[in-house]
Amino acid sequence: MKVAGVFVMVCLLMNSTAFGKTKKAKATEIKVKGIVNVVKEAKKITSVTLTTKDSTYNVVLDSTGLKIGKTEANSKIEAKGVVNQKGDQKWIEVKKFEAVKEKHKKGK
């Protein structure tokens, strides 16, 4: 009986993790416009967020995320990237971004 139990456990492990057959939440690519907020400690960027009218996204601090933090602090940008939910926080891995130029309204 012990051998059968071990065999069943091995089969379950092989089907779930060893061969990557676990189901992961599919990442969604989106386009968002928002204001870039940067947090620094000792002149090093530790956090970048993108605040839209509907939500706040934590920006993944890869090379693109760090570039956003260095060049776009307190600016409005349009970012295209992959969003993942981790707990109650949204994370965006930005693939492309550009500054959004505000349209000036003409006075009457």
CATH number, position 40: 2.40.50.140
Calculate what percentage of the chain has a pLDDT beyond 90: 66
**DSSP character string of 80-104:** EEEEEEETTEEEEEEEEEEEPPPPP
What CA–CA distance (Å, rounded) separates 68 from 34? Answer: 12
For residue 11, give Cα distances in angstroms to 20, 21, 79, 107.
13, 12, 43, 72
pLDDT digits (tens, 9 = 90+) for 6-40: 444 444 444 444 444 445 566 678 999 999 999 99
pLDDT of res. 107: 60
* 105 or 83, greater pLDDT: 83
Residue 34 falls inside a structural domain: yes
| 95 within a domain of the structure (yes/no) | yes
Which residue did the predictor score with more confidence, 14 or 104? 104
User: Could you tell me the residue range of the domain that residue 76 belongs to?
Assistant: 28-99
- pLDDT value at residue 22: 46
Q: Is residue 13 part of a domain?
A: no
Counted domains in the chain: 1
